[in-house]
Structure 1
Amino acid sequence: MQLAEIPLCVWRKRGQSFVFRGQTIRYWVAGQGEPLLLIHGFPTASWDWHYLWQPLTQRYRVIACDMLGFGDSAKPLDHEYCLLEQADLQQALLDYLGVRQPVHLLAHDYGDSVAQELLARHIEARIEIGSCVFLNGGLFPETHRPVLMQKLLLSPLGWMIGRAFSRDGLVKSFRQIFGPQTRPSESELDDFWSLIDNNRGTRIMHKLINYVPQRRMQRDRWVSAMQAGAVPLRVIDGEVDPVSGAHMLERYRQLIPNPDTVSLPGIGHYPQIEAPLQVLKHYLAFRDQLDPPALKTACS
């Protein structure tokens, strides 16, 4: 069994827009039920979730946006991009859509950091989170192993590196971080590149990459929020990812009480693209165990 993809051209037509602090943000919403917020990674966009979108919308009210500086959303040049602001954006979108229930999170990569900030805000009673599932991402700065392109973007010459970034550069980077048997097709690479390049996105890549030092600054607050046990957590991790694979999962098991982890052999940094059926299975199993027994009986 395979999950049907949503072509990027179709995905884009289904998007809507709202304005956040004067900037146009593209978002997607579908389905009914408990709200599920999908938070994408760097340097791609919410289309990353397209394999999971339809099956998840059959059970939940699924919400996603291209964060500021990503995909089809605004990419202002004179702007200091910040993970805390991206969390503000997610909360603004939920308010705009009238979401009042506890929201569940499914996050990846850069989105993991945004989700960690939302977990910290849950502890601070600023938002109510029902659960959180992380895919591959830098949950702990000490285990993050950036690829060469990320290191170059973080250097003093990052602004030049970003402007020179091309589809070929994307291919080289993705070749390193995807599993050896699950690399994206040429068509998928075209679509990923279209999202990065849209609105002249390469001009700001050196600004977006500042999330790496921001993670270090927030590390203790975010890890404490995960350790608090206030929200059910699971990690679904592609284990051959050189950036945040098996080594990150091991650190998670060391630091988080009663860790709930799933390791995907042979899968790299983008499990929702490389192994969407496995991710869906493990996500739904996690959510099913959260439901009260009475509710399960009533629905069976």
Structure 2
Amino acid sequence: MTRLVAASGTRVRVRETGPADGDPVVLLHGIGRSLEDWAPQHDALPAAYRVISMDLLGFGLSDPPPRRPVTLARLATGVGDVLDALGVRRPVHVFGNSLGGAVALAMQAAHPQRVRSVVLAAPAGFGRQVVLDLRLLAIPGLGGHLLRHTGPRTARRTERALFDDPSFVTEERVRHALRVAAQPARTEVFLDVLRELGTVRGIRPGWRSALLADVARDPRPTLVVWGDRDRILPVRHLSAARAALPHARSHVFADTGHLPQVERADGFAALAVRFLGSV
């Protein structure tokens, strides 16, 4: 079950499983996505963990934020505000997929005392290349038009791009994508974040280098995971991640797309649990 929590001047949708005194694990989704992208991990991770997934500020089914623009820094601060609202005082293991990976690193950089370890699943921030659809959305005028006219065909194509195995593109996923696309202020928040982080040419280098420099000053145990058939952020970004985070462990799942935590749910959980056990 999910619920809305008052945080950052709005209401943020969260899902929690596990005991309140369990070791906290926080799960963060990608741009335009929702906590459903982490749903399998609530079942796959051991029941002893307190697992918390959330819809980032203005994304998923969270309410619109009280002010704009929504930036990477605000998203990271919003995660901390949600943890405060939930009474989480202990340092957390933060998992981030795609944009959620960048948010996890931003949280580590700004509030290192709150982060115990980091697990990055196909994270943004390690290369310029990104799928053409996202680059087109950065074009003024065009991006807003496309986001405001998301229909079943577009939603299905987007879901298909996320997975190597087409069987994951279910009617339930498409219906949920359309529900998310219809949320108030969804387009504006999406474009705020997209235009801060990228252009039609790809992901901007400035914020990436600044963020990674901040992270390097106070590193945390880190695991980086990728799928070898990622159509959104190519697996070759992993080389840059290894160079920027020389202390990090890494793993590549075969025959896997942009959501390894879904497409390889059990393998991902097993890998993460081994990593957390060594922290």
TM-score range, shorter chain: 0.7 to 0.9
1:79 corresponds to which of 68, 82, 88: 68
List aligned pairs for 1:130-209, cutoff 5 A.
Answer: 130-140=116-126, 143-157=127-141, 158-180=143-165, 183-199=168-184, 201-202=186-187, 204-209=189-194
Q: Give the conservation status (yes or no) of the 8 Å contact 1:162–1:203.
A: no
Shift, 1:183, TM fit: 4.1
> Which structure: greater helix fraction?
1
Structure 2 residue matching 1:198: 3-state secondary structure: coil
For residues 206-236 of structure 1, the C-alpha deviation after alignment (integer angstroms, 9 at most, x for no partner) is 3342342496443223212443463100011
**CA–CA separation in structure 1 for the residues paired with 2:230 and 2:109:** 26
What is the TM-score when the length of structure 1 is the normalising length? 0.82
Does the aligned pair in 2 maintain the 1:39–1:64 contact within 8 Å?
Answer: yes
Provide the C-alpha distance between the structure 2 equivalents of 1:165 and 1:192, rounded to a whole number of angstroms: 9
1:288 is aligned to: 277
Match of 2:80 in 1: 91
Quote the sequence identity (%): 25
Count of aligned pairs between the two proteins: 272
Q: How does 1:1-300 map to 2 (within 5 A)?
A: 14-32=1-19, 33-56=22-45, 58-75=47-64, 79-123=68-112, 127-140=113-126, 143-157=127-141, 158-180=143-165, 183-199=168-184, 201-202=186-187, 204-213=189-198, 216-228=205-217, 230-290=219-279
Query: Do the aligned partners of 2:128 and 2:204 also contact (CA within 8 Å) in 1?
Result: no
Q: Give deviations 1:2-44, integer Å, cap 9, x for gaps.
A: xxxxxxxxxxxx2222223432211122212111111111211
Which has the greater radius of gyration?
Answer: 1
Contact 1:82 1:210 in 2 (8 A): no
Q: CA deviation at 1:266?
A: 0.9
Q: Which amino acid aligns with 2:124?
A: G
**TM-score, with structure 2 as normaliser:** 0.88
Distance 2:214 2:259 in 1: 25
Partner Cα distance (2:189, 2:245) in 1: 34
Q: 1:261 Cα deviation (Å)?
A: 0.3
Residues 186 and 145 of structure 1, relative CA distance in 2, 3 Å threshold: farther
Alpha-carbon spacing, 1:180–1:49, altered in 2? closer, same or farther (3 Å): closer
- Tell me the distance in 2 between the aligned counterparts of 1:35 and 1:80: 29
- In structure 2, relative to structure 1, the CA distance for the partners of 1:34 and 1:178 (3 Å cut) is same
| RMSD value, Cα | 2.3
Task: Measure, in 1, the Cα distance between the counterparts of 2:194 and 2:17.
Answer: 30
Change (3 A) 1:122 1:80: closer
Deviation of 1:269 (Å): 0.5
1:144 and 1:176 map into 2 onto residues whose CA distance is: 18
**Distance between the aligned counterparts of 1:136 and 1:207, measured in 2?**
21
Q: CA deviation at 1:61?
A: 1.1
* Letter aligned with residue 136 of structure 1: A
Give the letter for the 1:160 counterpart.
H
CA deviation string 1:170-219 (max 9, x = no partner): 22233334214564223322223323323463465333423424964432
Report deviation, 1:76: 5.4
Task: Map Cα deviations across residues 132-154 of structure 1 (whole Å, 9 max, x no partner).
Answer: 000012122xx242223212210
> Residues 34 and 60 of structure 1 are in contact (CA less than 8 Å); yes or no, is this contact kept in structure 2?
yes
**Counterpart position of 1:298:** none
Q: Aligned partners of 2:96, 2:243: CA distance in 1, in Å?
A: 21
Q: Where do 5+ consecutive residues of structure 1 fail to align?
A: 1-13, 291-300
